[in-house]
Structure 1
Amino acid sequence: MDATYYLERLLRLEILVAVLGVYLAQLVAYKTYQFFIYPYFVSPLRHLPGPKDHHFLIGHTLNQFRSGSPNEPFLAWMRQWPNASLIRYFNVGNSDAVLVTSLAAHKEILRDKAYSFQKPAFFTRLVSDIVGFGLVFAEGEEHKKQRRVLAGLFSPSNLRALVPVFRDKARHLSYLLDQIIETEDGVVELVSLYSKIMLDIMGVFALGVELDNLRSANTSNASFDECYHELFEPDGLGQLLMAINGIVPIRWLPVEANRRFIQANKTVRSQLTGIIQDRIRTVGAAKAAGMDGGPDEGNDLLTFMVAEKYYADSDRWTEDDIMNQILTFLAAGHETTAGALTWATQLMIEHPSETKRLRTEITTLLQRDPSPDQHTIDTLPYLHNFTREVLRLQCPAVNVAREAAEDVVIQGVAIPKGTTLMMQPAVVQRNPSIWGPDCDEFRPDRWDRLEGPAEDPWAFTAFSLGPRVCIGKAMTMLEFKIILIELVSGFDLEAVGDARMSEIKLINPSPLLRPEGGIRVRVRRVEEP
């Protein structure tokens, strides 16, 4: 009996070893196929042009991290294959990815077949902790429904009502700069200053509160904007962990950068939860008293969402739904405009003659109308050209990433389900075949005489296009212009040091075009003529 027992155990062990061996053999065969056979001999994308200097395990990811710019090596690839609509490269695991370069391909992906694509998993992991799962991550019919609900906040009448808010914050910026002139000899780091001002604006728009008045309940007593800054501008290790987390989830690792991120995120969400719950009670009490949504209905995003969706008769939004939308608009609405202001300032310093023209146009307007309305501001031709040229040349948003949700054909090329497609504003807006040989030069006057492909509305992709075009585009342009009017009319700026645009070190990897360490300038009041 003992011999039989041991024989049975040996047989079971042999079976286990055999099963494990078959599994390992299948795994090795599959990985061999995935890494070395499918990409080169089977993939329908194998005939597309593209770089070959990739690693079989991590694709071109390391090359991107080493490139020094989040726009690279994509810009270099576009210029190496100027006639290609699609350029193939490799992601982690030698998986297929496609850089989209032509206007025709952009139109197919972002307009004609917009809902055949979705946000890639890596992009979700990269930014969802910060921006929530609001409108940015909604897909298909859900995206259409959310956009219809939120569109009313960006109507022309609502934007006109926001002009005093933008102007008030612009004047607060002037106040801060005057303080810096008195106490710091006018030397200021612009990125953090602009980020704070834009976050203040988004606090009023999205929440109806002044965010700089919010303090944390924890022992550090950190302010809202200090915690938010930690999320958006981590140190070097934090940037590396954020990039890796986009590939493999690693927020659970017990390292200090992760702990700071998690604590800051917890603090931000805790403070927002308090505001949301308080607004739910306020709007609920107003409705119970026979007031449709309270006395402030429509003045801010939160009140609007609570009145329209939290207390809706059907298809109601939960508190978590509202939190996700608030996070989305705070993130999307403040960092991009802050980045635009940063690059506008750098370009003004490097192009004094363009700055002089801009100041002349602005001061002429202010002499006639010290508090111009939205219509008047939008009629300033050089300001309009200037802002568009800033966004063309130095677009703050780096990537528009999509993943094929189904097998789809783009420009006659079969794109398999799961393929990542990368669209970069810089690849379109700094493309010589679209914008001419001077595409890397700052020339606001080019907007008066657009020719050829540059005349196509799809040649300007700073806000994306199609059904998923940035819902806040008009608002962003308005606040950008109002702050520039205040800044240019009141202050002269000069560089601290001699760093020019081409020499500024960028944070990389990053979803935004941001200078590493910020940009320091010296400001002084414009002398009266």
Structure 2
Amino acid sequence: MGLRWHAVTAISLIYAYFATSRTSVLGFLASFLVAWVVQFSLFAVWAVILYPTFFSPLSGLPEPSGNGWVMGQWRRIVDERPGGPMLDWTNSIPNNGLIRFRSLFNQERIMPVSPQALKEVLVTKNYDFTKPSEFVTGLGRLLGIGLFLAEGEEHKHQRRNLLPAFAFRHLKDLVPIFWDMSREGVLVMADKVLAEAQQNSDEEKLPPKTAVLEISDWASRMTLDIIGVTGLGRDFGATKDPDNDLAKTYNVLFSPSPQAQLLGMLQLFLPGWVVNMLPIKRNSTVGHASAEIRGLCADLIASKKRRLAAKTLDDHDILSVALESGGFTDENLVDQLMTFLAAGHETTATAMTWTIYMLCLHPEMQDRLREEVRSRLPSLDADATAAPVSALDFDHMPYLNAVCNESLRYHPPAPMSLRVSAVDTTICDQHVPKGTRVMIVPLAINRSRELWGPDAGEFKPDRWLPYFEGDKGAASGHAASNYAFLTFFHGPRSCIGQGFAKAEFACLLAAWVGRFRFELRDEKDRDEGKMKIKGIITARPADGLWVKATVLDGW
């Protein structure tokens, strides 16, 4: 889109120059403006109405009804939860693997919904589809240009050098650290609940040892500490300190403020560097926060490099493994750390938030999970050295893993992702011109009735358990295809931290449910359909998730 505006401007300048080469500057400006307005109007009619309606090679694909003349499905996309309209279209529009819909100013989007279409986009033709430049420019300030945003050969190089840090043998050694930090965090939470419970007034009518918590804030602070220790070798202390500077910085960065949404919309029409330079408070906030985080990461790298040179570095965190690989410059390592810090803790915190929500809606599942946790793991009050846990302990907890998998299916932390075709290509034999926007929607695929059956819209952990002895379908949730579970994507760009995130998630959830009983504070929140859900990288309840947490005895 930006290149087309550049062409309109260039042609207008050329026209104005030749039309007024011997007249005043005022005549030049007037000629330029007239030429620009005329060209813009003609181009707008072509791009917004004529091309998508009559001339696009994608116009024959199935699409939702009710398109606006100019705004397509934009109003619905904005009003509903991220990925919500796409979920409806996936389950209601007959298709052969692709669905087309129109966004703001009728800009075309195609959405792969069949295993074959997803396979081509994510695996066999993966590098035909890249992240849009405005996406990279916008998120690059939050995440750095690390593995998540790198493309082509640079992505291959980064992934190859980071794989050892996420190898199974390394993750297995991190599980005891995940558990110890989850245990310590829950003890801090319990002390907070008990302290507040003593101050409860009679009007609040709360049970004993109960207090109201905003659960996503606790999840964010605890996961930030865990990724700090296991990823960077630094305990940030966010769990104990609700006013922790780094935690507050990320809370501001990931808040879906109106200014953040406005800048995101402007990046559809203006170059990213222009949007980033606009004198808007959000820009200065992101710039300042990004500089602080980059400085923190640079300090950590310098410290570990000194220890590596002195041959005293024996840490097992991700940064240490990446340093020892020798495959990264200091600047690129900063980008990787920014990616791990931001995306790593935010996605797991979002998963925790939604899991607690679903367990509040299904207290019988919460009780069943608590019974398994307490029967298989040592009490949180036990001395960690005297009662160690291992990855094998969590492997032998089928219902815990089932709840985690089902929550990641039902509420994928990142419900949507966007790609653009970097070349003329095809998907399922459909010609896809260069520059076409491809919307990948884990929320829609993860709840597709075609792939998961008629109960796809139900939260059902038992789908991840064997239905009979020797049932191998439990490993995939009894879905019709492995592409039915899209939370971590697939192929060369699948989430390299999938094993890390799932192990951390299981430890944290076990500790929380083992010690607390959770209930929703407000009955109105029981209707998920009416809950306001927003986000930048991930999607959470916009107003937080407020629950009544009760400290339970006996474990």
TM bucket (normalised to shorter chain) is 0.7 to 0.9
Q: Deviations over 1:290-313 (max 9, x none)?
A: x3xx4225x12222333323xxxx
Hey, what does 1:416 align to over in structure 2? 433
> Over aligned residues, Cα RMSD in angstroms?
2.9
Residues in 2 aligned to 1:244 and 1:10: alpha-carbon distance in whole angstroms: 36
Relative to structure 1, is the Cα distance of residues 526 and 246 closer, same or farther in structure 2, using a 3 angstrom cutoff? farther
Superposition pairs for residues 467-482 of structure 1, below 5 Å?
467-482=492-507
**Partner residue of 1:12 out of 7, 14, 22:** 22
Q: In structure 1, the residue corresponding to 2:84 is in which secondary structure?
A: coil
Matched, 1:33 2:33: no
| Alignment deviations for residues 190-222 of structure 1 (CA, whole Å, 9 cap, x no partner) | 0010000001111112211112389xxxxxx97
Does residue 26 of structure 2 align to residue 47 of structure 1? Answer: no
The partner residue of 2:255 within 225, 233, 237 is: 233
Equivalent residues in 2 for 1:352-367 (5 A)?
352-366=363-377
2:141–2:287 Cα contact (<8 Å) kept: no
Cα offset, 1:492, TM superposition: 1.4
Deviation at 1:468, TM superposition (A): 1.3
CA distance in 2, matches of 1:10, 1:407: 40
CA pair 268-431 structure 1, distance change in 2 beyond 3 A: same
Tell me the distance in 2 between the aligned counterparts of 1:9 and 1:182.
79
Structure 1 residue 504: Cα displacement: 5.7
SS in 1 for 2:517: strand
Q: Name stretches of at least 5 consecutive residues in structure 2 with no aligned partner.
A: 1-17, 198-210, 380-385, 468-472
Preserved CA contact (<8 Å) 2:62 2:94: no
Aligned to 1:372: 389
Secondary structure of the corresponding residue to residue 521 of structure 1: strand
Q: Match for 1:137: what amino acid?
A: L
Q: 1:387 aligns with which of 404, 409, 432?
A: 404
Q: Could you give the per-residue CA deviations for residues 95-123 of structure 1, whole angstroms, max 9, x where no partner exists?
A: 32112211221111111111111112242
Q: Distance in 2 between matches of 1:89 and 1:503?
A: 22
Give the equivalent residue in structure 2 for 1:218: none
- AA in 1 matched with 2:55: V
Alpha carbons of structure 1 residues 26 and 524: separation in structure 2 relative to 1, 3 Å: closer
Aligned equivalents of 2:504, 2:378: Cα separation in 1: 20
What TM-score does the superposition give when structure 2 sets the normalisation length?
Answer: 0.83
Report sequence identity in percent: 32
Alignment of 1:113-192 (within 5 A): 113-185=125-197, 186-192=211-217
- Amino acid of the residue matched to residue 478 of structure 1? A
Closer, same or farther in 2 for the Cα pair 1:504/1:150, shift >3 Å?
A: farther
Which aligned pairs between 1:465-504 and structure 2 lie closer than 5 A?
465-498=490-523, 499-500=525-526, 502-503=528-529
Deviations 1:255-291, CA, capped at 9 Å, x for gaps:
43443333222322222222223333333x32xxxx3
Matched, 1:201 2:226: yes
Q: Are the counterparts in 2 of residues 70 and 510 from structure 1 also a CA contact under 8 Å?
A: no
* Stretch deviating more after TM superposition (89-98 or 17-26): 17-26
Alpha-carbon contact 2:121-2:427 (below 8 Å) kept: yes
Aligned residue in 1 for 2:479? 454
Query: What SS class does the counterpart of residue 534 from structure 2 fall into?
Result: coil
CA distance in 2, matches of 1:190, 1:213: 14
Q: How many residues are treated as equivalent by the alignment?
A: 500
1:440 & 1:224 partners in 2: Cα distance? 37
Q: 2: distance between equivalents of 1:162 and 1:352?
A: 31
Change (3 A) 1:458 1:10: closer
SS in 2 for 1:13: coil
Gaps of 5+ in 1: 1-7, 215-220, 310-315
Is 1:327 paired with 2:338? Answer: yes
Q: For the structure 1 residues 157 and 504, does the alpha-carbon distance in structure 2 shift closer, same or farther, using more than 3 Å as the test?
A: farther
Other-structure match for 2:325: 308
1-structure distance, mates of 2:99, 2:527: 28
Alignment partners' CA distance in 2, 1:20 and 1:13: 15
Cα distance change, pair 456–192 in 1 and its aligned pair in 2 (3 A): same
Secondary structure of 2:419's match?
Answer: strand
How far has the Cα of 1:457 moved from its partner? Answer: 1.4
Q: Give the C-alpha shift of residue 484 in structure 1.
A: 1.7
Alignment-derived partner of residue 507 in structure 1 = 533
Could you tell me whether the CA contact under 8 Å between 1:203 and 1:210 is conserved in 2? yes
Give the SS at the match of 1:136: coil
